[in-house]
Amino acid sequence: MPSMLPHDHGQIIERYADHMPKTEEFQIVSDLFKQLCDGSRIRIFWLLCHCEECVMNLAALVGMSSPAVSHHLRQLKAGGLIVSRREGKEVYYRASDSEQAQLLHRMIEKMVEISCPTEP
């Protein structure tokens, strides 16, 4: 069978062509990874993986203004990584139970462990 690639380098890449996810599927992954472009957003997400909290308390915990925290919360919510519930006038946020959110949480914790080892 002739090669479908312009150059035959003896590689096995052609075997993967039929199994490669669609462009749209890679875009979904890219959109999820965009959530990682800001360290403050990652900190907020990490906190919400461990507790449910309101904007004011999150802002105090991460040392940011409430509007800045709200901005990050909107992005995390749009990405499906967090959910919210209203109780009276207060809105509480927590990490979503989605597989993506859980995987991202484990990945963040592992990366912190790898890149920030504790001293003996």
**Secondary structure string (H, E, C) spanning 24-73:** HHHHHHHHHHHHHHCHHHHHHHHHHHHCCEEHHHHHHHHCCCHHHHHHHH
> pLDDT at residue 1 above 50?
no
The pLDDT value given to residue 118: 64
Instruction: Dihedral sign for Cα 75, 79, 84, 89, please.
Output: positive
**What are the backbone angles phi and psi of residue 16, rounded to the nearest 5°?**
-90, -15
The pLDDT value given to residue 33: 82
> pLDDT at residue 67 above 90?
yes
Parse the chain into domains and list their residue ranges: 39-115
Q: What is the pTM of this model?
A: 0.78
The model's pLDDT over 25-58, given as tens digits with 9 standing for 90+, comes to 888 888 888 877 899 999 999 999 999 999 999 9
* The CATH number of the domain covering residues in 39-115: 1.10.10.10
